[in-house]
Amino acid sequence: MLIEKIKSPQDLKGFTIEEMNTLAEELRELIIERVSKNGGHLASNLGVVELTIAMHYVFNSPRDKFIWDVGHQSYSHKLLTGRYGIFQTLRKFGGLSGFPKRSESPHDPFGTGHSSTSISAALGIIEARDKRGDDCKVIAVIGDGALTAGLAFEGLNQAGHMKKDLIVVLNDNEMSISPNVGAMSTYLHKVLTGTFYKKFRKETRALLEGIPKIGESVAKIAGKAEGSLKGFFLPGGLFQDLGFNYLGPIDGHDLPLLIETFTSIKTLKEPVLLHIVTKKGKGYKFSEDDPCIFHGIGPFEIETGELNGSKGAAEIKGCECITYSEGFGRALVEAASVDDRVIAITAAMKEGTGLTAFAEKFPDRFYDVGIAEPHAVTFAAGLASQGLRPVVTVYSTFLQRAYDEIIHDVCIQDLPVIFAVDRAGIVGEDGATHQGLFDISFLRNIPNLMIMAPADLVELRMMLMAALRHEGPSAIRYPRGKAFTGQTASHDIEIRPGKSEIILEGKDIAIIGIGNTVAVSLKAAELLKSDGIEAYVVNARFIKPLDDELIISLCSRTKKIIIVEENVLAGGFGSAVLECLSDAGITDVAVMRIGIDDEFVEHGSQRRLREKYGLDEQGIYRAAREFIKAKR
Ligand SMILES: Cc1ncc(C[n+]2csc(CCOP(=O)(O)OP(=O)(O)O)c2C)c(N)n1
């Protein structure tokens, strides 16, 4: 195989176009095979194979720096930069990350995972380069989906103004995870289908050949050229007005054309935006037909495209086949059916957050705002200020983007926006950039916000109803994966603000779980019972308001309390309990907190990571036994 000859991108330099086309086929096969086993972002990676080869052929990584926006499309880049030998470990615990990572390779100059950071980061790198008098090239590759975020425009805004030699490759496949949305997407679509593109598409190569290789800016060349050449630059007028030399659109699968284009623009000393058109999922029938399903996928059968087991299943034994996201989506449809004030908002994650059915049933009350979490939150605040009941469904990790909007636009004004915080806790293979391990800490300190976490699907539904009854802002956090169906042993189905419940009586020790740690705490209590240790188990339900009364009363019954949470310990739920005890002047109770210490949690399966951090039943059981033995 040709890929075996490539120890570093330098080895690509001697390849012929024919060999590079064969290499593209090999890369596609390797990616399909690996993702079919390990899961991952298939369609996005298949779309950028030729682009990646061309970039490595023309530029000199790691001296020249590639910033992959989101970074979910970086598998070919990894394969060409010395990571072929360990590619089978992709997304596995201790293995290759599914995203660019500084600690993994000098060819990854900037880590990504969340979208729309590439232009800002590239500009920073360029500025630092100029300060040290270097002359490397910096290329940001951004998708049309990622271009919907405000952050990308903040980067373009400064870059166009600074006039530095930044190359932005806009990889346009007209898809975000689902079809791309918004006015920018409509604009790009017009560019692709417009008369200019149609007219000049065929002439693209001829035009490029006419561009001198050195010195003059693309704009100047265009200015000097004949009328038809000017037309070549017209479609992307918006980018030109922002200070970029716009080039394209060109076919992003035409390797010779890509190579010629990069060679032509390499020497320019001004910002260039190269618009390429690619097919998401290219080269594998099933992902070409359904790039949305194959955007991020679990293990599947290559022959049939069918999933092996269900995607994102939490590894809790004995649960029914429905995810928390699906359960939430169903509950929201139910709520919206009886309350026409209910609105659903997503930032480009309709399928992931379980809103597909809602969008079909209530198209006028469903909004996909693009990858624009801060806007989603303020948009919801505006709706809520007029008496509507917006529900922002968002992954915990992406809600981080909207912190100021949560405080400034929602909570200070005490508006009844509901945050459905999906993928809260350990998410698994997507790794450090995607774990939802901060939301308890960053939400808990905001006045007016009620925060809940359900122990099972029944509670999730009841919490949504409680949030809709609540007159102020609220958040419900729930994990990735399958729901613990049925009741986790809740005695009382009714959700009352600030009320938790004891779901197992004991005497020797108390274990307080929140959300999905309730079920494992119960299992750990069963193990303790066989050792003769009787543990109370508390289903906390509320992070805020905290059930001070129950916690304080528990302290008169047992002198040892363990708190288990899938969140960082700093500022987490355990901290809330400690604050409560301290404020109440309780000093004779020993508290142990199980959660994530002061570190980022890397990639691996949810099961493996929970085991590592002692968040599974065995971990809690062992910790409880040690704790019982300890003097204090
Ligand atoms: C801030 C943020 N929100 C949401 C996501 C989830 N997400 C990952 S890829 C993606 C779509 C990106 O579309 P595009 O940039 O066009 O790349 P493509 O996958 O089409 O190549 C989304 C919404 C994210 N990574 N970061």
Higher pLDDT, 397 or 210: 397
Could you give the percent of the chain with pLDDT greater than 70?
90
Q: Torsions phi, psi of 202, nearest 5? A: -65, -30
Residue 216 in this model has a pLDDT that exceeds 50: no
pLDDT at position 232, please? Answer: 46
In ligand 1, the atom with minimum distance to the C-alpha of 349 is: 23
| 315 CB-side CA count, 13 A | 14
Supply the pTM of this predicted model. 0.93
Residue 608 has pLDDT above 60, yes or no: yes
Q: Is 70 in the pocket of ligand 1 (CB under 6 A)?
A: yes
Residue among 94, 113, 12 nearest 56 (CA): 12
Asked if residues 57 and 15 have their Cβ atoms less than 8 Å apart, the reply is: yes
Instruction: Select from 237, 266, 233, 227 the least CA-distant residue to 248.
Output: 233
Point out which residues pair with 390 in neighbouring strands. 343
Q: Does any ligand 1 atom lie closer than 6 A to the CB of residue 346?
A: no
Taking residues 606-616, report their average pLDDT. Answer: 98
Element (DSSP H or E) covering residue 275: strand 272-277
Nearest CA to ligand 1 atom 17: 143
C-alpha atoms less than 13 angstroms from C-alpha of 390 in its C-beta half-sphere: 23
pLDDT value at residue 632: 58
Residue 312: which pLDDT band, with cuts at 50, 70 and 90? very low
In 3D, which of 310, 383, 381, 395 has the Cα closest to residue 348?
395
- Bridge partners (DSSP) of residue 392 are 345, 419
Q: How confident is the model at residue 151 (pLDDT cuts 50, 70, 90)?
A: very high
Place of tokens 């006015």: 183
Estimate to the nearest angstrom the gap between the alpha carbon of 244 and the chain centroid.
29
Spell out the domain ranges in the chain.
2-285, 324-477, 501-629
Fold (CATH) for 2-285: Rossmann fold (3.40.50)
Between strands 450-452 and 542-544, the pairing is antiparallel
Q: What is the pLDDT of residues 161-187, one digit of tens each?
A: 999 999 999 999 999 999 999 988 888
User: Could you tell me which of 40, 274, 265, 29 has the C-alpha nearest to residue 140?
Assistant: 274
Enumerate long-range contacts of 362-368, CB under 8 Å, 24 or more apart: 362/333, 362/336, 365/336, 365/340, 367/343, 368/178, 368/181
Q: Tell me, what DSSP letter sits at residue 407?
A: I
In 3D space, the residue among 403, 574, 577 whose CA is nearest the CA of residue 475 turns out to be 403
Q: Which of 125-134, 487-496, 578-587 has the lowest mean pLDDT?
A: 487-496
Residue 280 falls in the annotated catalytic set = yes
- How many CB atoms neighbour CB 545 within 10 A? 12
Residue 146 to residue 372: CA distance in whole angstroms? 9
How many Cβ atoms from other residues are within 10 Å of residue 34's Cβ?
21
418 and 389 in contact (C-beta within 8 Å)? Answer: yes
Dist CA 171 CA 566 (whole Å): 36
> Average pLDDT of 445-465?
96
C-alpha 146 to ligand 1 mean position (Å):
6
Burial class (CB in 10 A: 0-12, 13-18, 19+), 405: buried
| Confidence check: pLDDT of 218 > 60 | no
Dihedral sign, Cα of residue 11, residue 12, residue 17, residue 19:
positive
Residue 61's nearest CA partner among 42, 34, 83, 29 is: 83
Contact between residue 481 and residue 427 where contact means Cβ atoms under 8 Å apart: no
**What is the structure's pLDDT at 493?**
79
How far apart, in whole angstroms, are the C-alpha atoms of residue 402 and residue 407? 9
> To test ligand 1's pocket by mutation, which of 99, 115, 188, 433 has the most ligand atoms within 8 angstroms of CB?
115
482-508: pLDDT as tens digits: 875 666 766 677 899 999 999 999 999
pLDDT of residue 208: 53
| Separation in Å, CA 585 to CA 15, 81, 554, 578 | 73, 58, 14, 11
- What phi, psi does 307 have (nearest 5°)? -70, 140
Question: Considering the domain 501-629 in this protein, what is its CATH number?
Answer: 3.40.50.920
Query: pLDDT band at 411, cuts 50/70/90?
Result: very high
Tell me what pLDDT residue 220 has: 46
Q: What angle do CA 288, 292, 297 make, to 5 degrees?
A: 95
Q: Which of 373, 459, 566, 617 is catalytic?
A: 373
**Residue pointed to by tokens 């809709």:** 468
Rounded to whole angstroms, the Cα distance separating 414 from 594 reads: 32
Q: Which atom of ligand 1 is nearest to the CA of 116?
A: 1
* CATH number for domain 324-477, candidates 3.50.50.60, 3.30.420.80, 3.40.50.970, 3.40.1280.10: 3.40.50.970
* pLDDT, tens digit, 9 for 90 and up, residues 351-403: 999 999 999 999 999 999 999 999 999 999 999 999 999 999 999 999 999 99
Assess whether 602 carries a catalytic annotation. no
* Range of weakest confidence among 234-248, 277-291, 363-377, 408-422: 234-248
3-state secondary structure of 604: coil
> Which of 83, 279, 389, 401 does the annotation list as catalytic?
401
Residue 579 a catalytic site member: no
Please report, as a single letter, which amino acid is at residue 523.
K
73-89: per-residue pLDDT in tens? 999 999 999 999 999 99
The overall average pLDDT reported for the chain is 92
Q: How many Å is the Cα radius of gyration of the chain?
A: 27
Q: What is the pLDDT of residues 25-46, one digit of tens each?
A: 999 999 999 999 999 999 999 9
Pocket test for ligand 1, best of 42, 67, 69, 70 (most atoms within 8 A of CB): 70
Q: Is residue 310 scored above 60 in pLDDT?
A: no
Q: Is 617 in the pocket of ligand 1 (CB under 6 A)?
A: no
Instruction: Please count the other Cβ atoms lying within 10 Å of the Cβ belonging to residue 313.
Output: 15
Output the CA 549–ligand 1 centroid distance in Å: 44
Q: Would you say residue 155 has pLDDT above 70?
A: yes
**Index of the ligand 1 atom closest to the CA of residue 143:** 15
- Do 324-477 and 501-629 fold alike per CATH? yes
Beta carbons within 8 Å of 350's beta carbon, 6+ residues apart: 177, 178, 356, 359, 368
DSSP result, 557-576: T-SEEEEEEEEESTTSHHHH
**Strand ranges, E, within 331-382:** 342-346, 366-368
CA distance from start to end of the chain: 62
For residue 460, pLDDT over 60 is answered with yes
CA-closest residue to ligand 1 atom 11 = 176
Rounded to the nearest whole angstrom, what is the distance from the C-alpha of residue 176 to the centroid of ligand 1?
Answer: 6
Is 50 exceeded by the pLDDT of residue 513? yes
324-338 helix and 457-469 helix, angle to the nearest 10 degrees: 40
Contact 544, 444 (CB under 8 A): yes
Specify the DSSP element, H or E, that contains 85. Answer: none
Residue 207 pLDDT exceeds 90? no
Which residues, 6+ apart, have CB-to-CB distance to 196 below 8 Å? Answer: 231, 232, 234, 235
Averaged pLDDT, 133-149: 97
